[in-house]
């Protein structure tokens, strides 16, 4: 018998919500995201949270393959009402945990193809998808799936790094190259691309000129500090407009004080509060999907990084739930 409880005790007349924490302690039971029902427990889903345990594309510290499990564990403390966005996402639409996509850890090309196919199949059911990675290589197949459904999408990319390099050791598919490949493939709307939170040393000044040539604008972490969240949100909203919007969050956009458990940490990042407030400022945009990547639990302390990632994913789900309500 499922521990997931319908909002109506007389029968499942609405979305099936998370496990009732007044009946089952938060530390008990199988860890699904936010203690939501598994996808096989409901007839249909509006939003699916999907894990992708893959880190073969990393260039420094591995371990993000263990992120989906860690983020699910941290998400046990999430509650069903989001006061910052004034929405109960699990009551307004059917949100589920769709489990993990089993990808080949020894073959990046095959893994990318598997993710594209599996997420595309989920989208074909009508579900919006929020993924928990895994390394940033995964954003390329996720963007391919999103563009197949919506056409070229706007992108807000939260990250310490540009991730628009050409190759690493001659390899075109790594966690530092997904957005160059996406521009080359024509799946991004190059009038509406922004990095947010970038900082730290680069290989050379040409990195910035190449990035600009691809169509990206940049809001550095220092820009957020100097200009403030509201001004940054206004700039991002103007750039995105009403285009279909994909949001990709590399957890290393946060300062290592707020996210030590990641593969390529950089000093001087955003606070978790700043990141969440920027995301919340994107309410009423035409968000179609998102990912949270690069959580590496082996380097985490007291679940700081996994907790931050679970809240980021929760706010992405909340934004998608609000968008679904508006479309009805």
Q: Which two tokens stand for residue 50?
A: 């999907």
| Cβ 170 vs Cβ 133: under 8 Å | no
Sign, CA dihedral 297-291-188-245, equals negative
- pLDDT-based confidence at residue 1 (cuts at 50, 70, 90): very low
- What pLDDT shows up at residue 326? 79
Q: Please tell me the CATH code under which domain 33-327 is placed.
A: 3.40.800.10
**C-alpha–C-alpha distance, residues 283 and 268, integer Å:** 27
Would the pLDDT of 8 be above 60? no
pLDDT band of residue 239 (cuts 50, 70, 90) is: very high
Return the bridge partners of 244, or none: none
Sign of CA dihedral 88, 32, 283, 44: negative
Query: pLDDT at position 3, please?
Result: 30
Model confidence at 13, pLDDT cuts 50, 70, 90, reads low
The pLDDT of residue 59 is 96
- Name the band, by pLDDT with cuts 50, 70 and 90, for residue 327: confident
DSSP string, 149-180: HHSSEEEEEE-SS----S-BTTBS-STTSHHH
Burial profile 170-185: b = 16 or more Cβ within 10 angstroms, e = fewer:
eebbbbbbbbbbbbee
- pLDDT score, position 289: 98
Could you report the per-residue pLDDT of 264-310, keeping only the tens digit for each?
999 999 999 999 999 999 999 999 999 999 999 999 999 999 999 99
């Amino acid at each position: 018998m499922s521990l997931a409880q319908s909002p109506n005790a007389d029968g499942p007349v609405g979305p099936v919500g998370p496990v009732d924490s007044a009946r089952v302690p938060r530390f008990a039971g199988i860890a699904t995201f936010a203690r939501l029902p598994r996808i096989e427990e409901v007839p249909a889903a509006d939003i699916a949270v999907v894990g992708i345990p893959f880190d073969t594309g990393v260039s420094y510290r591995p371990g993000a393959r263990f992120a989906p499990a860690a983020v699910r564990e941290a998400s046990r403390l999430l509650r069903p009402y989001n006061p910052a966005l004034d929405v109960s996402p699990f009551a307004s639409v059917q949100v589920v945990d769709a489990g993990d996509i089993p990808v080949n850890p020894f073959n990046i090309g095959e893994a990318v193809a598997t993710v594209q196919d599996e997420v595309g199949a989920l989208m074909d059911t009508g579900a919006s998808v929020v993924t928990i990675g895994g390394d940033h290589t995964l954003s390329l197949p996720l963007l391919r799936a999103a563009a197949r459904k919506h056409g070229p999408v706007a992108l807000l990319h939260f990250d310490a790094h540009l991730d628009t390099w050409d190759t690493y050791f001659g390899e075109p598919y790594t966690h530092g190259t997904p957005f160059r490949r996406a521009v080359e493939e024509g799946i991004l709307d190059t009038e509406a691309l922004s990095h947010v939170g970038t900082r730290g040393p680069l290989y050379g000044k040409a990195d910035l000129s190449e990035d600009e040539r691809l169509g990206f604008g940049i809001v550095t972490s220092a820009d957020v500090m100097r200009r403030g969240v509201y001004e940054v949100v206004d700039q991002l909203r103007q750039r995105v407009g009403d285009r279909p919007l994909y949001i990709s969050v590399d957890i290393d956009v946060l300062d290592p004080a707020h996210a030590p458990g990641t593969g390529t940490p950089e000093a001087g990042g955003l606070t978790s509060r700043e990141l969440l407030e920027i995301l919340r400022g994107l309410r009423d945009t035409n968000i179609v999907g998102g990912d949270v990547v690069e959580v590496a639990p082996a380097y985490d302390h007291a679940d700081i990084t996994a907790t931050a990632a679970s809240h980021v994913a929760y706010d992405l789900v909340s934004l998608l739930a609000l968008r679904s309500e508006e479309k009805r």
